[in-house]
Amino acid sequence: MIHLFKKKKKKDTRPKGGIRLPYVGFFCLGIFFLAVIFADVIAPYDPQEGDLFSSTIPPVWQEEGSLAHILGTDMLGRDVLSRIIHGSRMSLLISVGCILFYGSIGVTLGLISGFMGGRTDMVIMRMADLWLSLPAIIVLFMLASVHGPSAKTIILTFGIMGWPNYARIVRGECLSLKERDFVRLARVAGCSKLRIMFSHILPNIMNTIIIMATIEIGGIIVLTASMSFLGLGTQPPSCDWGLMLAEGRQYITYASWLVTFPGLAIVITVLGFNLTGDWLREILDPKQKLR
Amino acid sequence: MQGYILKRILIAMFTIFAVLTVVFFIFRLGPADPVAVMLPPNATPQDAENLTKKFGLDQPLMVQYTNYLKNAFKGDFGTSFRFNEPALKVLFERFPATLQLGLVAFVISVLVGLSVGIISAVKPDSFIDRIGRLVALAGMSLPSFWVGVMLILFFGVTLRWLPIAGKGTLAHYIMPSFCMSLYPIALITRLSRSSMLDALKSDYVVMARIKGVPEFYVILVHAFKNASIPVLTVIFGIFSGLIVGSAVVVEYIFSWPGIGRLVMESYFARDYPVVQVFVIFVTFVVVTMNLIVDIIYAYIDPRIRYQ
Amino acid sequence: MNRPIHHQTVMAVVICTILFMMPLSALAGSDDSVKVGLRYDPSTVNIIEIRNGNDIAVVSLMHQPLLAPHPETGDRVGVLAKSFEILENGKKIRVKMYPGARFHTGDPVTAHDVKFTYEACANPQNANMIAGLLDEIEDIEVVDDHTLIFHFWESYAPWEELMWLGISSKKYYETAGPEKFRSHPVGSGSLRFVERKIGEYIHLEAVEGYPLYEAEGYPFEKIRYKDIKFITVPDDMTRLAMLETGELDLVGEILPHQLKRLQRNKQINIKKSDQVPSLFGLACLPKTDPIMGDRNLGLAIRHGINRQEMVDKIFLGEGYPLYQFLSRVELGYDPSVVVEFNPEIARAFLKKSDYKPGTPLTLTYTSLVPNAPLIAALIQKYLKEIGITTKLQQLEEGTAITYTRNRDKRLGHIRLYGWPGNRDPNIRMLLTLLSTAPYAAVTDRARKVEIDNLILLQAREMDKTKRADMIKEIFKITDFDAVGTVLFGLNMIYAMNERIDYTWTPKEAYFPNLHTIKLVK
């Protein structure tokens, strides 16, 4: 066994002075954003309109498949491809909604906490601890059982629950920036605290925030899709990948394409975000603070 | 040190109290009326009145709240509408199954994740490293609920190799635990790989190598010991994550008789006391785990105490 | 250099896999056991606390009732009851019991046990699903050990609907105490309680030496299997897959689209019963918006919906259109009432109504109705074709129930509902058609007093033909008002492993008489 751990000369395959571009990631994201932006143009059918007389047509490469519906149709005769294309919008909407929601809370609290220090800092960080001990899915259960499940409930839940991570990292960054000369100078020049926080410190931590958002967005997409899958999120008849999976699951044994393709769509999108996020982190955050 | 621990315990207690309060008000102030929900379709208005009295719902909200806190302190979290048993008892009956599955998944994730992570760091760009990175990427990008459904379709329905649902033989553990450990494996692999890479570059490892310490010891004793702290934090987090988040999805798909499936069923059957006790129980577990981790850290790393 | 490790890893994986697979052979159950898959975990094992039909199917196996459905005809025949005698035009019913019945503890089943069971079920503390109905009974008089008289407040026509409760032992309650009585029930049925794990299974086993006596109308037979396990598998797909792999023997509540695959499997027999009278329909809610009480709008909706196409397309033909709030087997059902599907007629009615084109009507549904989103989407399409704009809204079931009971406007204009089947329309009318009823959608129809009176009177009418006429009269009025639309009833589809045989009892809504399962091999 020992020979495994023997030192071997490292062979750096990376190009000198740079990091390999995540072509696969870009490609995946390219497809995704193409779908989001041009959904109305490229989707062959209306995602909500179904023709019952063409229900559950298999994808084109299967025996009874037809070119009219490349990825087949669902029970109501709605075109799966069109629904997946339009579903990309819902995914982006929900995940970006969540991240904007908790990101802004997290960044604001993190800035205040890091900049003000003292008691304010302690209170906010204790609150973050408290928040972290309450799993988001639990909160979703409560909100959904009381107010009914919907995309709004999901955004609200993850929006309320996600901020502590942001707050912690922003606070850390803020603490080190606070002692830098340009902040001190701004203080001497008589800038208000608010102004220093938002126009001097914030632009300098924007990088960190963007990397975090890119890294987290993939996770959020999976998370929200699984909530819709469980019936705690988006409700029919909207186009949502998680929901499509949940609906298709009943028919899995004879219409497996209803489950396979929305799943693949999630995988491709998340893969794209993850690869790109990793790449961004490596070029923008060489010290790997955001592991 | 004692002061620090005391402070931590107080904060933990406050957290639980806050959650109890939030849970009470969210469920009471929602649009669904528990009495209307509990009544069978052929109930008469008289039945509704009786039930309202039985559950003390005719009293003012603050009285209900104090009663609720008093009962919660005694461990009484109401009666399950569905089973007519104490909600906490119903939950505890189902908890062992969740714990067993969680432990299996946890052990798998830690073993696989750590070993793949360490080997990848020691031998970058080797075969295992590539596989490891691929697994990490897949684990991060594949939704576990989709993987679960695909596994059932392939191994259960098409090939008929593995049982699809329920709990009984060892074979029942394979698919759910695999499904559950996918994400944690990815997380641990990534983290242990990068921590190890850092540690291997550090001065003390170089020093040890110069001193002629065998490579095996350098890696496992010098480098890994130092790389383990961030990994440990994540591992603790994963364990509570496993029995909470993943449990709900995986138990639902594989019909595993644990608390995750219980809460889904209770949610759909509108058995709010069980959902409520689940929320409280899970918070309690997570808070306690965090408390233990904090205290352990304080022992390991004295700097934390004086923060 | 790395090679050997790879080999080791691969070998280890292979060995582990083989080791994991070993216990698989133990999966096949013993030959004389039967495993039934359930969607919902029964809420109780005790007859005193039953909440729904799912509970009845399991719990009733352990008990004998006074009356039970005959496994082949579905008619109610005496099991514990030897004879019924209707006295004072139905105000009193004298029941004579067979003397031979015994509880699993060995004690004889007496009239005292019947009185005890009925009183416990009527106790609101136990939240029994028929507690409300038992209020009709004023008192139960025990004449001797095997004779008793039910005293009703007033004569009660659907009295047979109260006679199916399984009888529990009074002596067992007194000796074992309430807790053991609840969790380890004792009955006189041919199956005995063994074990229950909440959320996992309920295990019953056949009792030796049955049948104990002969009943005139009821075919007592020896149980053909050793024990029966009810396994809860909430997920539809998983439950069916378990049927295919032999982990389950019998599964009910199969949705039509799941049939295709099952039909290809030679080891599985599929049976259907069109007797299950669950109703699906649209309730129009004038409380939300008075326009919903408009007769012409109601008629437009009734004529604008293609029920047959809905059944064919969504439920693959496994059902039938219904036009009355009654199922086929119920008293007062009139097969001649048919509403023609014709968009032309529908448009004409719509023109006459006060509905302003373009005004969106909210169509509410919950996940409790199978395929509800599909049905709702299809209805939206039909209504759009005749010129009615609808907006879909899915509500959480608890919220929907609360809104219904409180007549809250947030429930929307139209609600898609499913109503569980029953043999007698009485309860349904009391709960939905009476103007003061908790689920009434229409509380102030023009002939409100007349319809309320008829509903109360028919329950007192002991003559079946006269009663049927009264019920027909009630439905004539509601048909004229045209508020709400009944859509269809669905067949009950159930499938079993080829090693067992079971046939649904006619006229029953829930898995009845599971003790009649036969082992084929």
Domains of chain A (ranges, CATH numbers): 24-36+67-284 (1.10.3720.10)
Q: How much is the mean pLDDT over chain B?
A: 81
Residue A4: the pLDDT is 44
Is residue B261 within 8 A of residue B251, CB to CB? The reply is yes
Question: For C484, phi and psi rounded to 5 degrees?
Answer: 90, 155
Is residue A242 within 8 A of residue A224, CB to CB? The reply is yes
How close, in Å, is residue C50 to chain B by CA atoms?
10
Is residue C197 within 8 A of residue B257, CB to CB? The reply is yes
Q: How far apart are CA B240 and CA B231, in angstroms?
A: 15
Q: Is A135 left (phi over 0), alpha (psi -120 to 50) or beta?
A: beta
C396 touches chain B (CB under 8 A): yes
> Which of B26, B29, B38, B44 is most worth mutating to test chain C (most C CB atoms within 10 A of its CB)?
B44
Listed in sequence order, the residues at least 6 apart from C249 whose beta carbon sits closer than 8 Å to its beta carbon are C34, C35, C36, C243, C496, C497, C499, C500
**CA distances (Å), C475 to each of C307, C422, C451, C455, C480, in order?**
20, 17, 9, 10, 8
Residue B155: the pLDDT is 83
ipTM of the complex in this document: 0.77
For residue C263, give the chain A residue with the closest CA.
A254
Residues of B in contact with A138 (CB under 8 A): 244, 278-279, 282-283
**A19 band by pLDDT with thresholds 50, 70 and 90:** low
Task: Extract the tokens encoding B290.
Answer: 């965090």
Q: Is C144 left (phi over 0), alpha (psi -120 to 50) or beta?
A: beta
pLDDT at B188 over 90: no
Listed in sequence order, the residues at least 6 apart from B258 whose beta carbon sits closer than 8 Å to its beta carbon are B94, B95, B97, B98, B99, B101, B247, B251
Q: Where are the domains of chain C?
A: 33-273+493-519, 279-490
List helix spans (H) across C305-363: 307-314, 343-352
**CA distances (Å), C108 to each of A102, B62, C112, C146, C515, in order?**
68, 52, 10, 10, 22
**3-state class of C203 per DSSP?**
strand
Q: How far apart are CA A81 and CA A69, in angstroms?
A: 8
Q: How much is the mean pLDDT over chain A?
A: 81
pLDDT in tens, B272-291: 788 888 888 888 888 888 78
Cβ-defined contact of B124 to A10 (cutoff 8 Å): yes
Cβ-defined contact of C235 to B54 (cutoff 8 Å): no
pLDDT at A5 over 50: no
Residue A7: the pLDDT is 44
Task: Extract the tokens encoding B235.
Answer: 């591992």
Residue C15: the pLDDT is 53
pLDDT at B164 over 80: no
Task: Count CA atoms within 13 Å of residue C10 on its CB side.
Answer: 7
Cβ-defined contact of B83 to C43 (cutoff 8 Å): yes
A144 touches chain C (CB under 8 A): yes
Residues of A in contact with B270 (CB under 8 A): 145
pLDDT in tens, C70-115: 998 888 899 999 999 999 888 999 999 999 899 999 999 999 999 9
Q: What percent of chain B has pLDDT over 90?
A: 1
Residue A275: the pLDDT is 87
Chain B 143-202, CB below 8 Å of chain A: which residues?
143-146, 149-150, 153, 157, 191, 194
Cβ-defined contact of A236 to C394 (cutoff 8 Å): yes
Say which of C237, C378, C392 has its CB closest to residue A250: C237
Residue A232: the pLDDT is 82
Fold annotation for C279-490: Dipeptide-binding Protein; domain 3 (3.10.105)
Mean pLDDT, chain C cut into blocks of 10 residues (521 residues total): 45 51 46 88 88 84 92 90 91 93 93 95 82 88 94 92 92 92 92 88 91 87 90 83 87 84 87 80 90 91 93 87 86 89 94 91 85 85 92 79 83 88 83 83 86 91 91 91 90 91 85 87 69
Average pLDDT over residues A43-58: 79
pLDDT in tens, B21-41: 888 887 777 666 777 776 766
Q: How far apart are CA C428 and CA C475, in angstroms?
A: 12
Residue B196: the pLDDT is 83
Instruction: Look at A55 and C456; give whichever has higher pLDDT.
Output: C456
Residue A9: the pLDDT is 45
How close, in Å, is residue A237 to chain C by CA atoms?
7
For residue C375, give the chain A residue with the closest CA.
A76
How close, in Å, is residue B231 to chain A by CA atoms?
11
How close, in Å, is residue A241 to chain C by CA atoms?
16
Say which of C200, C401, C403 has its CB closest to residue B257: C200
Tell me, yes or no, if the pTM score tops 0.90.
Answer: no
Residue C346: the pLDDT is 94
Closest CA to C85 of C147, C173, C35: C147
Rounded (10°) CA dihedral B280, B281, B284, B290: -120
For residue B279, give the chain A residue with the closest CA.
A138
Task: Extract the tokens encoding A125.
Answer: 């960080």
pLDDT in tens, A132-176: 767 777 778 777 766 777 888 888 888 888 888 888 888 888 888
**3-state class of A162 per DSSP?**
coil
Q: What percent of chain A has pLDDT over 70?
A: 89
Task: Extract the tokens encoding C59.
Answer: 């719990």
B163 touches chain C (CB under 8 A): yes
Residue C22: the pLDDT is 46
| C33-273+493-519 to CATH, choices 1.10.8.60, 3.40.190.10, 3.20.20.70, 1.10.150.120 | 3.40.190.10
Residue C397: the pLDDT is 74
> Which of C314, C374, C408 is most worth mutating to test chain A (most A CB atoms within 10 A of its CB)?
C374
pLDDT in tens, B196-231: 888 787 777 788 888 877 877 777 777 777 777 667
- Ordered by where they begin, the domains of chain B are 2-73 (no CATH), 90-305 (1.10.3720.10)
How close, in Å, is residue A236 to chain C by CA atoms?
6
How close, in Å, is residue C322 to chain A by CA atoms?
21
